[in-house]
């Protein structure tokens, strides 16, 4: 079935603050199944590759540094309408604009250190999942 998976990361700020468990609980309680999960550290180069689409943006250098500043938890998640439903669960990029009850509203520190990533489309979700996981790591 198309459109039933998304990719997420718990970002360095949230991992460092000890919010991994609380965020995973929110994700599972919202009906997402964890298909793949790994804690890993991105190099600045790999962080830059992941966010290549933003390379012309003024925050790109900072974003590369931040995303490689500590371990992240990478996730492939499954649910009907996964991409859109997960974006709803995490809230707006800027936590000041995120709705009450969303993961970013609860855990993000700033527009950059915003606790979690969520793919923006089915095709991106597939590519981002493959950036971290082989097919033998998905269950």
Interface residues toward ligand IDP, by CB under 6 A = 54, 59, 63, 93, 111-112, 114, 117, 120
Helix (H) or strand (E) holding 67: helix 60-67
Minimum separation from the CB atom of position 135 to ligand IDP (A): 25
Nearer to Mg ion, 32 or 50 (CB): 50
CA-to-CA dists, residue 66 to 2, 34, 43, 44, 50, angstroms: 32, 25, 10, 9, 13
- Of the candidate spans 6-14, 29-37, 104-112, 120-128, the one that interacts with Mg ion by CB under 5 A turns out to be 120-128
Torsion of CA 14, 120, 93, 91, to 10 degrees: -80
| Cα gap 139→137, rounded to integer Å | 7
Judged by beta carbon, residue 30 or residue 111, the one nearer ligand IDP is 111
Catalytic residue among 13, 42, 117, 133: 117
Query: To which H or E segment does residue 35 belong?
Result: strand 33-40
Residue 75: strand, helix, or coil? strand
CB 93, min distance to Mg ion, A: 7
Based on CB atoms, which residue is closest to Mg ion, 51 or 137?
51
> Is position 117 annotated as part of the catalytic site?
yes
| Nearest Cα residue to 15 out of 38, 36, 46 | 38
Catalytic residues: 117
Kindly list the residues in this chain that would bind Mg ion in the complex (CB under 5 A). Answer: 120
């Amino acid at each position: 079935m198309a459109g039933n998976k998304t990719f997420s990361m718990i970002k360095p700020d949230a991992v460092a603050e000890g919010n991994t468990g609380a965020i995973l609980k929110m994700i599972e309680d919202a009906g997402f199944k964890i298909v793949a999960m790994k804690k890993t550290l991105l190099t600045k180069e790999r962080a830059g590759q992941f966010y290549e689409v933003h390379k012309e943006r003024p925050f790109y250098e900072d974003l590369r540094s931040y995303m490689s500043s500590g371990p992240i938890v990478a996730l492939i998640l499954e649910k009907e309408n996964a991409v859109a439903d997960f974006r709803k669960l995490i809230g707006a990029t800027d936590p000041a604009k995120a709705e009450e009850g969303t993961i970013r509203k609860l855990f993000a520190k700033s527009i950059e250190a915003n606790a979690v990533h969520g793919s923006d489309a089915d095709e991106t979700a597939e590519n981002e999942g493959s950036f971290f996981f082989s097919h033998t790591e998905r269950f």
